[in-house]
Structure 1
Amino acid sequence: MLDRSPSIADDKATATLQDKIAPARVRPRLGDDVTLSPAASSPADDATDRKNMSLLIQLRWTAVIGQIVTIGAVHLWLGAPLPVVPMGAVVLGLIALNIGSLAWMRYRVAVSNRDLLIALILDVVALTAQLYLSGGITNPFTSLYLLQVTLGAVLLDSRASWSLVAVVFAAFIWLTGASRPLVLPQAAGDPVNLTVAGMLIGFALNAVLLVVFVTRIHRNLRERDAHLAALRQHAAEQDHIVRMGLLASGAAHELGTPLASVSVILSDWRRMPALTENSELAEDLTEMETSLKRCQSIVTGILVSAGEARGEGSSPTTVAEFLSAIAEEWRNARCKTTLHVVNVFGEDLPIVSDVTLKQAIFNVLDNAFEVSRHWIELVAERDGDDLVLSIIDRGPGFSKDMLTQIGKPYQSSKGRVGGGLGLFLVMNVVRKLGGSMTAENLHNRGAKVKLVLPLKTLAIGDDFD
């Protein structure tokens, strides 16, 4: 049995019927360029930069706590005469910077590479101020500069990274000639041992913070790369869909004339007594007319979905009527006893009878019919603001490889050349309606394909609660 190809272009008939749902149902038109442009990656980059900015804020909180502990330990425990007031002012400045950054991120739509650079430079300035007040270049915690440089190399582009290196280098050079010396009392112990201990603590802080934060930054970058890969895959699928839609639309135009000719010939045959008086030939004529109407319906559906036959195939209806119409048409075309419809949606809801969705459901039913000739169940449920349609069969189920590749083109267990496009097209139709499609094998026997569709893209009116 040939897979029926659901519509893939802008459903103009539905849009003209209900303008309210049009913004939620943006679809590529036949011939539109759907390749992934560089701008398409910006949302993923923005989300990653926001996550990285949040990591810098967390690191700054860690620095605030570490500085408070270090200042208290050196001033109170070792008895070193630290300038507590100026150093405390720097800590308060970091706290104010963090609070301001959190408020800024709440109202900021996007975080840029420049914003990350500024945040890192402010952290370098704060570290330089603390080192200046506590021994300058002789302070063992100067190694924390490497943490800023490493974070910059991971987070920033090449130009910004070198800019941060220049700032750190300038701060380091400045500390060599301008700093307040730190004089430790004799009771504190050997200065050499204290310096070595400070270097050890600084090294441990660098190592721990680098592992923790660089690992999390890399995770953010991997998530961004995975998102961009998904966008590219989606763009490739859309381009594939558009090409197939163009071929289907052209084929529909070409088939229109011969189908019309066949229809005229069958009408003439119906008026010939020699054919109508023969019961066997009359029955054959009826079957031919039914098949012809089926072909014409498919061609009309392709033209409607391509926007070339407005007003056909889309109309206001309800969930119950929509399911009943699908069941009746499918039974008439396939088998009258196989399909069982279970509607537990609840209160009936006015929706748009969408020709693309109808074709997608037909496709799933046809695939189930190929492996389960005697029993198929179509279950309609409501899950919050979603219409959930489950097609259940008693066939052998999907293979493990098919379950992982469900909805991808040319993934089929039927062994036909060019097979596997049915569920791929269904996936794209459902996705353009804002929904999702999943498949699973049942424990006893058979499989279930679930279509989850947001009611806001189907319901007529603003309130569907």
Structure 2
Amino acid sequence: MSEVFAPQKAADPAEADTPARLRPTRRPGRGRVRLRTLLAIRWVAVAGQAASLAIVDFVLGYPIPLLPAALAVAALAVATLVPQVRRKSNARLNDRDSALYFAFDMVQLSVLLFLTGGLHNPFSLLLLAPVTVSAAALSFRSTLGLTALAITCINTLGIFHYPLPWPDGSFDLPPVFVFGLTIALVLAVVFISVYVFKVAEESRRVADALMAVQSALDREQRISSVGALAAAAAHELGSPLGTISLIAKELTRDLPTDSPYRGDAELLLSQANRCRDILAEIAARPEQSSQGHFHVLAAPLLVEVAAEPFRRPSVALRIETRSEGGEQEPPIMPRRPEIMHGLGNLLQNAIEFAREEVQVLITWSRHELSITITDDGVGFPPDLLDRLGDPYVSATLGRGSKLGARQLAAATGRAPTARKGDHMGLGIFIAQNLLERSGGSVQFGNNEFGGAEVKVIWPRSALKPDVN
């Protein structure tokens, strides 16, 4: 059996821009590196460098330029002490300040290595540390700058340096080995910076997208809470308002016509009746009351309610139901925020990119329920099908260029969308995570006519009504 719902009013563009509005805003002034952590690492470096110099010179008796090396260590100690005194230790450094701190550390270590053997010194591997931390915590621009600085320092130390401290000063590595070590360190810097940055950036994107998922869920829960509060207020205020109306009626009836208080009593009665009408109107709108979250709906009606904010006059929404054995009536689904927002995002995407029609097929059996959303557009781009569900995937196309919704539509052959701003690809990610949180699974594909097809499957046990 099937039921066709005629298209209604167009979706509000502000409502259609949900993924962009839910995207967490990054604060450029708030960094990921805490000053306290950086200072603690620096004091460890100061202690390690001072101890190494003392052991080499006083214990092993190797000749080293002690005064210049000690001044280099002292410079690091002063550069650590000054911010510790002048700034709060729990402050977070912005991207620029963090990069400057790491650049100073790299230059100071390079000076110390220059005085103690250059790349002959095995501690030259420590030049990789600032680049690694930068790639994990800072921006691409800062990481690129520190990588270039590290490569410059490595090449300089490979050519210019004091002899490595040695008992008779005769230690010398062949130039070919030093050249190979230089190339190895340069390649290590490049590989670590690129690899760590890519991994960290992916983690940051997933974290930001998960924050957007939580924001979407919190928003749905706040809406439901407001509806529940309105319904509870309407119920609780009914009794005292009825008492006020009764007393006002008696006062109006008992007071003489020429009484100076009769007008006040009539005004009180009219306002009480007005309040009663308002509460009756609230109670008559179940979609805005507690029934929106704490009650259940038949599956076709739930799909219709989820699609309502995104309707377009030019696109018809066709909902079909099919039983695969057992009960013939459509199953009841809880109207949870996760389900409503997840289905809403998928339906929004289908309606935006459909030409004339979006079909929703609801099938159920004794063990599971599935909702398949199909549009008559050109479907998902084949090269993105395997990555759908990853955050920001639709914002990148071709050679990594970021596209807005209209540019993405033009590149993929889809119709232009009604969304404002950049389409960051969070809609499908949010939908998948919310629906999986409700116990379902999501499958993406294209139908036999080329349109997009999304199938959501729940075990019937996951759709039991919430018990309050």
TM-score, normalising length: structure 2 = 0.37
TM-score, normalising length: structure 1 = 0.38
Structure with the higher fraction of residues in helix conformation: 1
Kindly indicate whether structure 1 or structure 2 has the higher relative contact order, using CA contacts under 8 Å at least 6 residues apart: 1
